[in-house]
Structures are given as C-alpha cells and as structure tokens.
C-alpha cells in the first residue's frame, strides 16, 4: 500500500516546505485542472510516465506548454527512436502506487518507485510556483522549485533539470547527453537493501573467502595428523597439476581415451568391459 496524500502533506510540513493547497473535483487532464486552479499563481504542469525496452521507468515533469518529442528523448537517453513509450496503466499501481491521472514527482515518495528516473523541465525553475497533485487528483498543491528540490533530496532523489525541447545530435563522436539519467539494471528495493548487505560475508583482506563446506573434525590426534598430511599432499598435487599445463592436458587426454575405449567395448563386448573396470 502506498502513502496517502495526507501522509505526503504531513511530510512536506515536517520539512518546513511552503505550499498552497487547492481542493477540487477529480480531474484527469491539464485542461480540466485549469478550470479549478487557473486563477492561482502556479504554473500548470504535465507529467509523463514512460518505460524503455528493458522495463526501466521514467517520470518526465514539464510545464504544460513544453513540447516533448519521445523519439528525440529516446535518442538522448541512448535507446534509438523507438526505445521509449508510455508505461502501461497497470504499472501505475505496481510501481508508482497511484491512480490514473496522479503521476507527478511526488509519486517517488513511495518505496516501490525509488528506482524510477525523474527528468524535470528546466522551465520549472523560473516559475514562482508549479502545480502538482500530491498522490491524489482531487487536490493540487502550488510549490516552488526550491521546495520541490528539498523534498526530492529528502527521499534520496536529487533533482535533474534538463532542456526537454533540445535536440542535440547523437552519433559516434557525440554520445547521448541524457544517458546518465538511465536507471541502473537490477536495482535492489530500499527495504531489501539492508537484508542483502547483511547476507554478504565480507572477505578478509589478503585471504580467500571462507569455504562453505563443513569442516571434517578428527576424533584422535593420529587422524588429525593424517588429515593434515592428506590435505597438504592434495594441495601440492593440485598445485603441481595446474602449474604444469602440459601435464594437465596429458592426463585429460588419457582419461578421455579410456572413457572412449570403455564406451566402445561396452557395445561390442560387455563382459570384457566389466573385467577391465574391475
């Protein structure tokens, strides 16, 4: 279950972030929202929830009149013109945990969305206030860029502002300028990060990692001595074998020839093969 709008607004207050709150009927588009908050000083914003070919997700938040070409954006991220598309609706519930029409930078408040990359329109920084839904589209808050930045930094998502209308060339000598914004593969969910770290046994400097096989304990001093000798001779034998590639190749070839001979003999004379083995 994701956070509620009440929990988000409480967090903003705890961070001493100033915002104006506007309640209104549920809206699904920027045009519908304008009818209810158009009188405010805040700038209307649009938010896109996108997905690439490797099932990595992105939120793009921009001023309502900013032109966004997904083909150009995909190239700037390094995917080619067809590498980016709108995320399926079911991902809203699975990843962002918000209803349809509620995608905003505040969606990253939920733990399940922390691996989502966020691109912010650089035009947001010059506006006195910007309008966003706080996890629910029956409320809109007006917040300035510095307040938004403070919130994003508080959840470990440093804000990234880019010129979304730019179309820089991408080629062999001109790498994608937004490649740094692509999420890493195989991200560990924040709630599992601590458990994963605890399950890894640190390797001591200068020593090999501990063997996971159970230690064989000797019952008597004599057995302990034999075990030690056996372990030492085995180690020396393995070291000699691996330090002499020619000898290793020779032994492997001899074993293969013997296996091939026995296999052929089993087919023609089973009794003879059995005698050879015995």
CATH of 5-185 among 3.20.20.120, 3.90.960.10, 3.40.1260.10, 3.40.50.360: 3.90.960.10
Render pLDDT for 166-199 as a digit per residue (tens, 0 to 9).
999 998 899 999 999 999 854 433 333 333 333 3
Q: What is the per-residue pLDDT across 213-243, written as a single tens digit (0 to 9) for each? A: 444 444 455 555 554 455 444 444 444 444 5
Query: What is the value of pTM for the model shown?
Result: 0.67
C-beta atoms surrounding 253 within 10 Å:
10
pLDDT of 246 over the 60 cut: no
114 pLDDT higher than 50: yes
CA angle, 71 then 122 then 142, to 5°: 115
Domains in the chain: boundaries: 5-185
pLDDT tens digit string along 11-42? 999 999 999 999 999 999 999 999 999 888 89
Q: For residue 250, name the pLDDT band (cuts at 50, 70, 90).
A: low
According to the model, what pLDDT value does residue 205 have?
Answer: 38
Average pLDDT over residues 44-70: 97
| Mean confidence (pLDDT) of the chain | 79
Q: Which of 37, 9, 14 is closest to 129 using CA atoms?
A: 37
Of the candidates 166, 187, 170, which has an alpha carbon nearest to the alpha carbon of residue 179? 170
Dump pLDDT digits (tens) for 136-164. Answer: 999 999 999 999 999 999 999 999 999 99
Q: What CA dihedral angle connects 98, 102, 108 and 109, to 10 degrees?
A: -70
pLDDT tens digits along 59-72: 999 999 999 999 99
């Amino acid at each position: 279950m994701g956070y509620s709008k009440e929990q988000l607004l409480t967090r903003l207050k705890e961070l001493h972030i100033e915002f104006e709150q506007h309640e209104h009927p549920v809206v699904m588009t920027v045009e519908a929202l304008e009818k209810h908050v158009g009188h405010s000083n805040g700038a209307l914003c649009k938010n896109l929830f996108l997905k690439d070919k490797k099932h990595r997700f992105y939120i793009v938040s921009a001023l309502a009149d900013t032109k966004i070409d997904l083909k150009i954006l995909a190239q700037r991220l390094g995917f080619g013109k067809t590498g980016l598309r709108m995320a399926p609706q079911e991902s809203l519930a699975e990843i962002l945990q918000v209803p349809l029409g509620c995608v905003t930078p505040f969606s990253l408040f939920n733990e399940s969305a922390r691996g989502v990359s966020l691109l912010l329109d650089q035009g947001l920084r010059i506006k006195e206030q910007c309008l966003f839904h706080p996890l629910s589209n029956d409320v809109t808050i007006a917040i300035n860029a510095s307040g938004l930045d403070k919130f994003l930094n508080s959840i470990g998502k440093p804000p990234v502002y880019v010129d979304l209308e730019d179309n820089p060339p991408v080629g062999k000598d001109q790498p994608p300028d937004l490649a740094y914004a692509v999420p890493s593969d195989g991200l560990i969910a924040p709630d599992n990060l601590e458990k994963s770290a605890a399950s890894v046994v640190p390797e001591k400097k200068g020593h090999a990692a501990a063997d996971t096989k159970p230690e064989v304990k000797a019952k008597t001093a004599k057995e302990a001595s034999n075990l030690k000798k056996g372990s030492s001779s085995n180690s020396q034998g393995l070291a000699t074998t691996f330090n002499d590639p020619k000898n290793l190749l020779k032994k492997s070839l001899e074993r293969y020839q013997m296996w091939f001979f026995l296999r052929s003999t089993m087919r023609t004379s089973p009794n003879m093969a059995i005698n050879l083995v015995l």
